[in-house]
Amino acid sequence: MPQQSDFDMWCRYLSRNGVEELNISLYKYPEPKYQLPFCLLCCRIIKQLMVQQLFIDLPVNACDIFSNVTSLAFFNVTFKRSVNGIASTISIPKLEKLAFEDCGGINKFEISPPKLEILSVIGSMYYLVDSRWLAPHLKAIKTLWLCGLSLAFMRVSMFPTAINLRVLKLYGLHFDYWDHLLVFMQLLQKCPNLCELQILAVEFRGEDDNKLNDAASRHELFIQELQMLNTIKIEAFSDKSALEMLFMKTLLSKSRVLERVVILKSWHHMIYSGVRKLQRKLECFPRASPNAQIVCDGNYYAGMYEDWMDTHGVRLQVLE
């Protein structure tokens, strides 16, 4: 268990010896114990930085930090402010990819990266990002990863039109929550040029499915046409849920240029006959696009599992 001073010395050595890609991991400790030294925050050599299980004490005047970084990833990181009061917004002029997973105090990391293209914010309900922090980034980014839990606290009405967003990935969407589904549909309306939609649904459903299905039969999902959406991928899909079937019916009827729909069933429904039955059900739904091809598969290991659930897979995909 090194002292903070030892850790600082090691980081100073790295910052002075031409390190361009740096991954700092301290998973041994349950809570962030060490502070990321300022010498790494202001290092002009580092281009890719991955920080795990640390806390970052952001100075009020932080204009020059991460000045040449193009890719940042934070996992189990806590952001703090050195001094109370209004902090300056950090530009990070070359940043293109930014990822957070289970990070606290993201709202204190006030940034304005002009070149940001990929943004990933996922985590448990204790680490959700504020809609006011997320909103300014939606105009520029091309790829967005969000957590399904964040839908419960998301104020989509304050979001600008995500004019450049092409890929939307949602981790852990719970189709049993009607309110979450409505918010998600509102979010889709903010993405007029969306081309690809990927969803990893929550695997296990609630015990009150019958009531939810009855409610779904009495509701409709209202959404405007998705003019650019050409690819939909959903993993852990359950044809037993009327809400999920309603969701798919809505997307198929509103996507005029849709080309490919890939559906992977839940692992506990991996029966070939069930997969074929699901495909026939979906093919009976009206499709706005005559070119839309629906592919259903029960091969769980052929899906997005590694990309979504394996933390190393997520990090590599964000960083590379």
The predicted structure's pLDDT at residue 217: 55
Look at residue 1 and tell me whether its pLDDT is greater than 80. Answer: no
Radius of gyration for the alpha carbons in the chain, expressed in angstroms and rounded: 21
Which residue has better confidence, 123 or 198? Answer: 198
Q: Is there a contact between 38 and 54 (Cβ–Cβ < 8 Å)? A: no
Which residue has better confidence, 17 or 212? Answer: 17
The predicted structure's pLDDT at residue 318: 43
Which residue has better confidence, 257 or 239? Answer: 257
291-312 mean pLDDT: 62
pLDDT single digits (tens) 51-100: 999 999 887 776 789 999 999 999 999 998 866 555 568 889 999 999 99
Which residue has better confidence, 307 or 134? Answer: 134
Question: What percent of the chain has pLDDT above 90?
Answer: 52
Whole-angstrom Cα distance, residue 171 to residue 158? 22
pLDDT single digits (tens) 256-290: 999 999 998 765 555 555 788 888 999 999 999 99
Look at residue 320 and tell me whether its pLDDT is greater than 90. Answer: no
The predicted structure's pLDDT at residue 268: 56
pLDDT class of 40 with cuts at 50, 70, 90: very high
Which residue has better confidence, 211 or 116? Answer: 116
Q: Is residue 315 part of a domain?
A: yes
pLDDT class of 248 with cuts at 50, 70, 90: very high
Q: Is residue 129 part of a domain?
A: yes
Look at residue 37 and tell me whether its pLDDT is greater than 60. Answer: yes
Q: Is residue 265 part of a domain?
A: yes
Whole-angstrom Cα distance, residue 184 to residue 223? 11
CA atoms lying within 13 Å on the CB side of residue 251: 33
Whole-angstrom Cα distance, residue 253 to residue 278? 17
* Cα 126 versus chain centre, distance: 16
Q: Is residue 192 part of a domain?
A: yes
The predicted structure's pLDDT at residue 177: 83
The predicted structure's pLDDT at residue 252: 95
pLDDT class of 31 with cuts at 50, 70, 90: confident
Length of the chain, please?
Answer: 320
Average per-residue pLDDT for the chain:
83
Which residue has better confidence, 46 or 241? Answer: 46
State the residue range of the domain holding 311.
Answer: 117-319
Q: Is residue 193 part of a domain?
A: yes
- What is the total count of domains within the chain? 1
Question: What percent of the chain has pLDDT above 70?
Answer: 81
The predicted structure's pLDDT at residue 308: 42
SS (H, E, C) the chain: CCCHHHHHHHHHHHHCCCCCEEEEECCCCCCCCCECCHHHHCCCCCCEEEEECCEEEECCCCCCCCCCCCEEEEECCEEEECCCCCCCCECCCCCCEEEEECCECHHHCCECCCCCCEEEEECCHHHCCCHHHHHHHCCCCCEEEEEHHHHHHCCHHHCCCCCCCCEEEEEEECCCCHHHHHHHHHHHHCCCCCCEEEEEECCCCCCCHHHHHHHHHCCCCCCCCECCCCEEEEEEECCCCHHHHHHHHHHHHHECCCCEEEEEECHHHCCHHHHHHHHHHHHCCCCCCCCCEEEEECCHHHCCHHHHCCHHHHHHHHHC
The predicted structure's pLDDT at residue 2: 80
pLDDT single digits (tens) 170-220: 988 888 888 888 899 999 999 999 999 999 988 765 544 555 555 555 556
Q: Is residue 145 part of a domain?
A: yes
Q: Is residue 24 part of a domain?
A: no
Q: Which of 103, 47, 48, 51 is nearest to 80 (CA)?
A: 103
Look at residue 314 and tell me whether its pLDDT is greater than 50. Answer: no
Q: What is the CATH number of the domain that holds 138?
A: 3.80.10
Q: Is there a contact between 241 and 269 (Cβ–Cβ < 8 Å)? A: no
